[in-house]
Amino acid sequence: MALLSGLTPVLLALLCLVVGFLLLRSRETSRTTSRKPSEGKEKPWVDQDLQDDSETTAAGGGEDDGWVDPAEEEDLAHVPYSPRRYSEESMLQRSTDFYRLMNQRRSVRFLSPEPVPRDVIDRVVHTAGTAPSGAHTEPWTFVVVSDPEMKHRIRLIVEEEEEVNYRQRMGDKWVQDLARLRTNWIKEYLDVAPYLILIFKQTYGILPNGKKKTHYYNEISVSISCGILLAALQNVGLVTVTSTPLNCGPQLRLLLNRPANEKLLMLLPVGYPAADATVPDLKRKNVEDIMVHV
């Protein structure tokens, strides 16, 4: 009994240590579990520059928080709209002709340095600006670069980040999926193409009085305008490759002196195809594979 009574304080101390250890482990497990959902949402291929809260309108939208009050904006007049109507035969022919034109569109990475008329570029960009946008905010900026030195500086930024993307961020599966397309981080076409068009989404507008204007669905709106731009380029016989350089946005925004409310969405090298240009022999899905009638 004397021996047991002498060991009792020691046993109590050990028991306290064990209980304390278990409680500590329980807290750490709880913290780890609470972090998992957010960690699971992080994707290495998501451009961090586009991860912002710009889609959220400032609460209130009043004078104090710097956002324009919609009540201050003038009402819009509505006018008659009577677009031209075509016969069914003409509609079918026009839709077929347009499909054939667009079905020839390919992503071309081998461009010619041959000059392209500036007026043509102006017109296709103007056409892209006809896209619909949330509340007609037109949240796009098209930066057209033709200066050789500026194009080369853009190439250096893109290739530096793209090498990191291919070696670290994208992961083996993505890199392997791209291997058959013979693409890598070397972007020679950024020097060769007569024009680079960088499309920025405006996460919010800035009015002449300095107030901010909400740009609803700005990324979707700008993406639609990019689609129209691709169609307009195809229509005039020019080619491009849709480039979305991961994590290059902040550097390119500073290089091109764009404001903080603009985020780079896409970069398009534009020109004629090189005489020896090649493209992968890809096939597109049939209409039955992409459309569902209800």
pLDDT digits (tens, 9 = 90+) for 178-214: 666 667 667 899 999 999 999 999 999 998 888 999 9
Give Cβ neighbours of residue 55 (< 8 Å, ≥ 6 apart). Answer: 203, 216, 217, 218, 219
pLDDT at 162: 74
Domain count, the chain: 1
Residue 77 is encoded by which pair of tokens? 């007049």
pLDDT tens, position by position, 68-122: 877 677 788 999 999 999 999 999 999 999 999 999 999 999 999 999 999 999 9
Sequence length of the chain is 294
Cβ 252 vs Cβ 108: under 8 Å: no
* In contact, 225 and 131? CB cutoff 8 Å: yes
pLDDT-based confidence at 33, cuts 50/70/90? very low
Q: How far apart are CA 142 and CA 225, in angstroms?
A: 10
Q: Is residue 16 part of a domain?
A: no
pLDDT, mean of residues 244-267: 93
In a domain, 69, yes or no: no
Q: What are phi and psi of 292, to 5 degrees?
A: -125, 125
What local confidence, expressed as pLDDT, does residue 3 receive? 46
Q: Residue 253 domain-assigned?
A: yes
Phi, psi of 222 (to 5 degrees): -70, -35
Helix 118-128 crosses helix 218-235 at what angle (to 10 degrees)? Answer: 140
Give the residue numbers spanning the domain of 260: 106-270
The answer to whether residue 147 sits within a structural domain is: yes
Rounded to two decimals, the pTM is 0.78
Using DSSP's 3-state secondary structure scheme, residue 133 falls into coil
pLDDT at 62 over 90: no
Instruction: Give the CATH number for residue 138.
Output: 3.40.109.10
37-41, 195-199, 271-275 — which is least confidently predicted?
Answer: 37-41
In a domain, residue 278? The reply is no
